[in-house]
Structure 1
Amino acid sequence: MTYDFDKIIDRSGSGDLKHGVLQERYGRSDLLPLWVADMDFETPRFITDALRQRLEHSLFGYTVVPDVLWTSITQWIQDHHQWDVKRQWLTYIPGIVKGIGMAINVFVKEDEKVIIQPPVYHPFRLTPEGNGRQVVYNPLKEVGGTYEMDFEQLAEVADDKCRLLILSNPHNPAGICWSRETLQRLAHFCYEHHIIVISDEIHADMALFGHQHVPFASVSDEAAQISITFGAPSKTFNIAGIVSSYAIVPNDTLRRRFYTWLEANELNDPPLFSPIATIAAYTQQGEDYRRQMLGYIEENIRFVEDYCREHLPRINPWRPQASFLVWLDCRELGLSHDALVDLFVNRAHLALNDGAMFGIGGSGFMRLNVGTPRAILRQALEQLRAAIAQNV
Structure 2
Amino acid sequence: LNDGRYTMDFADLETKAADPANKMLILCHPHNPVGRVWTAAEIQQLGDICRRHDLILVTDEIHGELCYSWADYRPVSALAPELNDRLVVCTGPSKAFNLPGLRISLAIIPSPALRERFTVGLRDLNELFGFNRLGMLALQAAYEDGGPWLDALRAYLEANYLYLRDFLERELPQIRLTPAEGLYLAWLDCRPLGLSDAVLQQLLTDNARVALEPGNHYGPEGSGFVRLNLACPRALLAQALARIRRALA
Which of 330, 335, 341 aligns to 2:201? It is 341
Partner of 2:128: 267
Partner of 1:188: 48
Structure 1's 168 and 268: CA in aligned 2 closer, same or farther, altered over 3 A? Answer: farther
| Structural mapping, 1:56-67, within 5 Å | none
Using the alignment, how far apart are the partners of 1:305 and 1:239 within structure 2?
A: 28
Partner of 1:358: 218
8 Å CA contact 1:325, 1:367 repeated in 2: yes
Task: Note the alpha carbon deviations across 1:117-163, whole angstroms, 9 max, x for none.
Answer: xxxxxxxxxxxxxxxxxxxxxxxxx1222211111122223311111
Partner of 1:146: 5
Unpaired segments ≥5 residues, structure 1: 1-141
- What letter corresponds to residue 246 of structure 1 in structure 2? L
Using the alignment, how far apart are the partners of 1:214 and 1:150 within structure 2?
A: 21
Partner of 1:236: 96
Using the alignment, how far apart are the partners of 1:348 and 1:268 within structure 2?
A: 46
Using the alignment, how far apart are the partners of 2:212 and 2:128 within structure 1?
A: 33
Partner of 2:247: 387
Q: Structure 1 vs Structure 2: percent identity of aligned residues?
A: 37
Which of 143, 148, 163 aligns to 1:288? It is 148
Are 2:110 and 1:250 aligned?
A: yes
Using the alignment, how far apart are the partners of 1:176 and 1:267 within structure 2?
A: 33
Shift in Å at residue 263 of structure 1?
3.6
Task: Note the alpha carbon deviations across 1:193-250, whole angstroms, 9 max, x for none.
Answer: 1211210000011110231222123333442121111010111111111112010111
Whichever of the two has the greater Rg, that structure is 1
Partner of 1:276: 137
SS at match of 2:231: coil
8 Å CA contact 2:119, 2:128 repeated in 1: no
Instruction: Tell me the TM-score normalized by structure 1.
Output: 0.61
Shift in Å at residue 269 of structure 1?
4.2
Using the alignment, how far apart are the partners of 1:200 and 1:370 within structure 2?
A: 20
- What letter corresponds to residue 312 of structure 1 in structure 2? L
Using the alignment, how far apart are the partners of 1:332 and 1:268 within structure 2?
A: 51
SS at match of 1:165: strand
Using the alignment, how far apart are the partners of 1:268 and 1:245 within structure 2?
A: 13
Are 2:68 and 1:208 aligned?
A: yes
Task: Note the alpha carbon deviations across 1:24-51, whole angstroms, 9 max, x for none.
Answer: xxxxxxxxxxxxxxxxxxxxxxxxxxxx
8 Å CA contact 1:188, 1:223 repeated in 2: no
Aligned length: 247
Shift in Å at residue 292 of structure 1?
0.8
Which of 367, 373, 376 aligns to 2:236? It is 376
- What letter corresponds to residue 144 of structure 1 in structure 2? D
SS at match of 2:32: coil
SS at match of 1:228: strand
Task: Note the alpha carbon deviations across 1:101-128, whole angstroms, 9 max, x for none.
Answer: xxxxxxxxxxxxxxxxxxxxxxxxxxxx
Using the alignment, how far apart are the partners of 2:80 and 2:96 within structure 1?
A: 27
Instruction: Tell me the TM-score normalized by structure 2.
Output: 0.94
Task: Note the alpha carbon deviations across 1:57-87, whole angstroms, 9 max, x for none.
Answer: xxxxxxxxxxxxxxxxxxxxxxxxxxxxxxx
- What letter corresponds to residue 274 of structure 1 in structure 2? G
Structure 1's 354 and 302: CA in aligned 2 closer, same or farther, altered over 3 A? Answer: same
Using the alignment, how far apart are the partners of 1:262 and 1:202 within structure 2?
A: 20
Using the alignment, how far apart are the partners of 1:388 and 1:281 within structure 2?
A: 42
- What letter corresponds to residue 121 of structure 2 in structure 1? W
Using the alignment, how far apart are the partners of 2:83 and 2:203 within structure 1?
A: 44
Higher relative contact order (CA 8 A, sep 6+): 1
